Structure 1
């Protein structure tokens, strides 16, 4: 779900800085998995955001550099993107089943699946514009790469958490 031009722009602007060390960054999803497994509320889930990226930065010599922050943040962003795709897929199946059931009984209620798809498409645009704004504040400086990766990661995590807790029929 990452915006391709951001990744292309960032890759081109930091290609000079990538080294074998940065490519072999020590990263683990474990802090995120453990945190999410222990949490029971959306607020607790939010406390998990950034844990793996921070642990990665602390575990690597390049962790506090632009390259290290992007490498670690990018790995965490990939984690949240996978989680978001998983929960979205689950909600699509639930929405399809619900909409089918409502049609079968003749209910005249709004369909969930089109609303879910429209909301997610609008969210992607919102996320991308928000991260454009955050990136633009760096004026082309080296902080732009870490800023956009952090924005993409944070916003994707928040959308995952929202969707994870959004189905009203799960108790």
Structure 2
């Protein structure tokens, strides 16, 4: 909680002017992902749409750049939340099926519980990680963009991880 307040204060202090209205679309990220030839390389596309967004803004300020990254973070958060919900549905079915297995008495863990714990700990880790990245640049104009970039990347990576987990669970 303290880190959240520290990061929020740092971002507020780093914002010299309000960002312009940004025009964001996830298309550039999605197009990049469609072109990927290597399995697991989709994470290299995280941030493509944010880059297109701030390149459209004449004389984009750090606030504008961070706002575009924030929009892409929101996009990834939507995918992350949807993937988590779907993964929980699959985990409930898998836990119920495993409970009927004789080995379940020896392995008392549940995927649903582990997913919930992972989400909580991942959220805390992401917050701390992005606070560190921002604070490494404190006192510079890049505090805000470092935090925004970190958040965007971590949200995208986690969304892609859960989406790949869903694919695995649905095909096993």
Q: TM-score, normalised by structure 2?
A: 0.82
Aligned residue among 34, 42, 45 for 1:45:
42
For the structure 1 residues 9 and 41, does the alpha-carbon distance in structure 2 shift closer, same or farther, using more than 3 Å as the test? Answer: farther
Residue of structure 2 in register with 1:170 after alignment: 170
For the structure 1 residues 142 and 15, does the alpha-carbon distance in structure 2 shift closer, same or farther, using more than 3 Å as the test? Answer: closer
| Separation in structure 2 between the aligned mates of residue 87 and residue 122 of structure 1, nearest angstrom | 17
Residue of structure 2 in register with 1:157 after alignment: 156
CA RMSD of aligned residues (A): 2.4
Whether contact under 8 Å (2:26, 2:72) holds in the other structure is yes
| Separation in structure 2 between the aligned mates of residue 41 and residue 6 of structure 1, nearest angstrom | 39
Quote how far apart the aligned CAs of 1:74 are. 0.8
Matched, 1:123 2:122: yes
* Larger deviation, residues 94-103 vs 49-58: 94-103
| Separation in structure 2 between the aligned mates of residue 148 and residue 11 of structure 1, nearest angstrom | 8
| Separation in structure 2 between the aligned mates of residue 62 and residue 73 of structure 1, nearest angstrom | 16
Residue of structure 1 in register with 2:78 after alignment: 82
Whether contact under 8 Å (1:53, 1:72) holds in the other structure is yes
Secondary structure class of the residue paired with 2:170:
coil
Quote how far apart the aligned CAs of 1:55 are. 0.5
Quote how far apart the aligned CAs of 1:120 are. 1.5
1:1-171 → structure 2 map (5 Å cutoff): 5=5, 8-9=8-9, 12-13=12-13, 16-18=16-18, 22=20, 24-37=21-34, 39=36, 43-63=40-60, 65-105=61-101, 107-108=103-104, 109=107, 110-167=109-166, 168-171=168-171
Q: After TM superposition, where is structure 1 displaced by more than 4 Å over at least 4 residues in a row?
A: 37-42, 104-107
